[in-house]
Structure formats: structure tokens, C-alpha cells
Amino acid sequence: MIMSGAKAVVECLREQGVKIIFGYPGGMILPMYDALYDEKEIKQILVTHEQNAAHAADGYARATGEVGVCMATSGPGATNLVTGIATAFMDSIPIVAITGQVDTNLLGRDAFQETDILDITMPVTKHNFKVKDPRKLVETIRQAFEIARSGRRGPVLVDIPKDLFFADVDYKFKKIEEKSLGNPDADFKICAAEAVEEISKAERPAVIVGGGAISAGASKEIIQFIEKYNLPVVNTLMGIGAVPRSHPQHLGFAGLHGNKAANHAIAAADLVIAIASRFGDRQTGNLSKYTRSKKFIHIDIDPAEIDKNIEGSLGLAGDIKIILKLLMRNENFQPRTDWWKQIESWKETFDYDYQVNRLTVPWAMNQIAKKTAGKNFAYATDVGQHQMWAALHLKVEEPRTWFTSGGLGTMGFGLPAAMGAQIAFGNSRRVISISGDGGIKMTGNEFFTISRLNLPIISLIVNNSSLGMIRQLQKVMYKEKYIACEFDFEMDFVKYAESFGIKATAVSTQEEFAAALEKALADEKNPRVIVLNVWRSFVEPMTKGNARIDEFVEFK
């Protein structure tokens, strides 16, 4: 069927199962908006900034497992997407970004709003395309989605000159083909057998679960695996939710700001089994200390990750579900009673009420964990101290209910990602967004969209009048020479939220927060904002003896 290029792109999006597009119009992408005018199956969400369109598409993808879609015009519209695309790239999130471009006859002539978005995004996309031939437009859109969702997932950008949107294109419906990664070959099975032997003879094994496990939908298989071999399990920041936090073998979040038991167990282990984790520096710290006196089994969809950061590991690259099933074909292993006794001695108990009625972020996270337990909630965070407190104290029980920027560490990610996730969930699950006063200034303009669409997001703003993580680094590493981190001009976040038509409350005590949270939870159909006014200075430790990630713990 012959139709315009813009209409053909819309047909391709429908073919790919796209229901939501996040975007912002401009001259070069306007033909796409025109083609969507009478569209019933695909809804376009107008955001307030293109960066937020990418973050919202990212949040949508994390919540659903589907490919998120965003679009923007050429020049500044396309470049504003870059931070969101890079965020998705670092966390292996599948999104397709469609950008308009100047007409083909103007390419390379420095036309108005012309930018070489391909070269700009090449390092932060899984693949990108510039379509110059209308005959290749349909197949390119299909390729973009296939690349984004296959193997190790990631963002793909398609740049389309404006004149191609008006060109005649021959479109024929094509059903999406389900592709299998195939069965392991003989050599792979030999490696798997070697891994089984290592697991069986290890005295102090431990499992690390990363974000790729959630992308693979492998939570069930991971739980079966750790239960079969009675293995302690920890998660990376991105792996939160892959194994329920309440599981008796779960030790918490491992890494620079992680739980004591999780970090001690990894430090003292003689075998670390990494499932879909890339061994980032925030997880490992000093590599020579991290790898000392232990072996590694590394399971990942991406062969390039094997031996990239940890050399000499026994690598198993492929479908996580299939690999774990192969690893469960053995019954000869020891119960490791002494190892579990040692682990139990490392588990800490947090004293949330160590100072009566003093509002702290860990206390607030604990209250949220209690009030949302067993209910349909998801959590999105920005980046900073509040992000680490949320990772430590929230009890995330399900995959695809925890959204955070792990690899790029993008301030401003939380609110627009929460927006994308809430749109994905509809009325089935409510999202709680947690941001600092620094990050919310970056993308808080999406309160406008949240209010306009009446999305029932509960947004917490941690207001300590500073860039908390920066201040912490300056305290620890720069002799308390605080510069460019303390806000000497107060902002009224309640009035800010109210200006968008959202009910907001500022709290300074435990009682005030508890009451505000109750009201927000009870108001199930509307957005709410709670501003936590907390101390800028550092509080006493909430627990004793937290292990640093580079600290080696002797097993006794």
C-alpha cells in the first residue's frame, strides 16, 4: 500500500505494538505529529522538555519490558534527547528515538537547526540510522526495534529528513518474529559442567544479581538456583527487585554504599557467581582487593562483558534462563553451615528511631517500606544520597518496580521516569518518586505534565538545601571546603508544586511525615508532593560497622 513516509512510520509503530510516544514537536518532526492526528491506537504524550521525553520512554520501558519510544525535532530537540539516551544506554534499556532532520538536499549545508545527531549519539546508542532513501524507511524502523529489544538491550536512534515524511512509501504489514537465542553447543555445556563443579566444591560461594536479570525476566530461575544450592544472594543497584528483598537468602544491596552483610559476603567469598552484572567500579572498588582469594563465574547475555572488568572468570554468555537450568543439574554439594553462621553475624539492624521525632531520610524510607508492603507500588529515584538511602531501606519485592539511573547517574532522571512508568502501569500500580532538591530543579517542570494528565504519583523531595552527595564528597575528600554545593537561597517547593495544581505538604518531624504519607496514600487518584525538610549536616551512623567495598574481610 502506498502512503506518505510519516504515515508508514506510524504504521510501523503500530506493527511493533507501540501504544505511547513521548515527545516534543518542532518543524522537522511536525509531519509525524500530523500523521498521528487521527491515530486511535497510539497516544502521544507532550512533555515539557525533550530530555524528559527520553527519560519517560526509559521509565516506560523499565516498567513494561517493552521498547519505549520518544521523538523530537532536529537540532536542539535532538541534542536535548542525548542525556536520556545515554542514561538508557548505560543501563541497557530498550528505547527507540525518532528525530526529524532537515531535508536531504540541505544535509551538510548548516541549514537552520541542522545537527549531526548520528555522530553525537554514536557512543551512547546501541545503533543509529540516518534514512536518506524513502524505500528503506519502513525496514529501518523495523530494524531499530529489533536491535533495541534483542540480546543486550539498548537505545537506537533513527534520524529522518523531513522530505522523507512526505515521500511515497510502499508499506506492507509484517508480523514480528519471535527469535530464540538457540540451544547451547557442546563446548558451552562443557563450560557449564565446569561451573557446576566449582559451585559444588566452593566453601563460601555468593551470588551477585545485576539489572540484566530483570531484562531477561529470569527472576524465577535465579530464585530456584539460589535455593537449590542454598546460596547467599546480593544485588547491584540495578538488580534491585530481581530477587524479593524479603527472601531469607537475600543479603541486600552490594557496592560502595551497600549493606554490611552484602559487602562482607562478597569480600569473604571464595566463589562469586555474577548473573547479568557488569562489575562496575561502584560495585568493585579496588579491583585487586575485590578479586583477591576468589574465583568468578560470570553469566551474561553480552560476551563482551566477560573478562572486561574481571579477568580470568569462567564465562557463560547467553540466555540466562537456559544457563541457570544447566547449572542446576547437580545434587552433590555441602550445606555450608559455617558460612551461613558467619553471614548471620554480619547482618545489621537499623535503629530508625535513634533520636526521637527527628526526621531522617532512612526513617522516611522505612516508613514507606512499611506502608507499601504487600501493595502495588513501584519506586523511582533521582541520583544522590536519597538514591542510596532508598536502595538500602526500601523493600522491593518484584522485578520492574525499581527505577534508577545506575550507570550514568543522571540527576533529574527520577520524576520523568516515574511519569513514564506511571503511564505504563495505569491504575494497576502507583509510583513513588524520590528526588533531592538539586535534581528536582532540573526536571521538576514535568510536574506540569503529571498534573495535566492527573497521574497519581507520590513525589518526595528531600530538601536539605544542598547537593548532598557533593557535600559528602567534599567533607570526606576535600577537607570540608564546601563550594558550589550549599544552596544559600531557599526555594519554596510546596508553592512550586501547587503552582502546577498539585497538593503539597512540607514536613520537618516524624509525625508530620507519617501524617502526610497517610494522606498521600489515601488520595489514590491524584498526584501528591511531600517536601522533607531535613538537616544539611551529617547525622550519626544508622548502623555500626558497615563494610567499605574495598575492605577485605577474613572468613573465620
Task: Find the catalytic residue in 11, 50, 114, 446.
Answer: 50
Q: How many CB atoms lie within 10 A of CB 435?
A: 29
**Which secondary structure element, helix H or strand E, spans residue 231, and what is its range?**
none
Residue type, 255: G
CB distance 446 to 52 below 8 Å: yes
**Active site (annotated) includes residue 113:** yes
**Active site (annotated) includes residue 50:** yes
User: How far is residue 251's CA from residue 235's CA, in Å, rounded to a whole number?
Assistant: 8
Task: Find the catalytic residue in 1, 41, 43, 112.
Answer: 112
Task: Find the catalytic residue in 113, 224, 249, 472.
Answer: 113
- Buried residues in 295-326 as b, exposed as e (16+ CB within 10 A): bbbbbbbbeebbeebbeebbbbbbbbbbbbeb
Task: Find the catalytic residue in 365, 411, 442, 469.
Answer: 469
Q: What three-state secondary structure class fits 205?
A: strand
**Which secondary structure element, helix H or strand E, spans residue 540, and what is its range?**
none
Comparing C-alpha atoms, which of 157, 183, 166, 173 is closest to residue 54?
157
Comparing C-alpha atoms, which of 404, 421, 409, 412 is closest to residue 446?
412
User: How far is residue 441's CA from residue 411's CA, in Å, rounded to a whole number?
Assistant: 10
Length of the chain: 556
Class of residue 351 by CB neighbours under 10 A (exposed 0-12, middle 13-18, buried 19+)? middle
User: How far is residue 240's CA from residue 194's CA, in Å, rounded to a whole number?
Assistant: 29
User: How far is residue 392's CA from residue 427's CA, in Å, rounded to a whole number?
Assistant: 27
**Active site (annotated) includes residue 112:** yes
User: How far is residue 12's CA from residue 20's CA, in Å, rounded to a whole number?
Assistant: 13
Task: Find the catalytic residue in 162, 165, 279, 294.
Answer: 162
Comparing C-alpha atoms, which of 352, 283, 274 is closest to residue 315?
274
Rg (CA), the chain: 24
Strand order in the sheet with 503-507: 402-403, 377-381, 430-436, 458-463, 528-533, 503-507
**Active site (annotated) includes residue 500:** no
Grid coordinates representing 315 are: 564465562
User: Bridge-partner residues for 528, per DSSP?
Assistant: 458, 503
User: How far is residue 22's CA from residue 69's CA, in Å, rounded to a whole number?
Assistant: 6
* Residues noted as catalytic: 50, 112-113, 162, 469
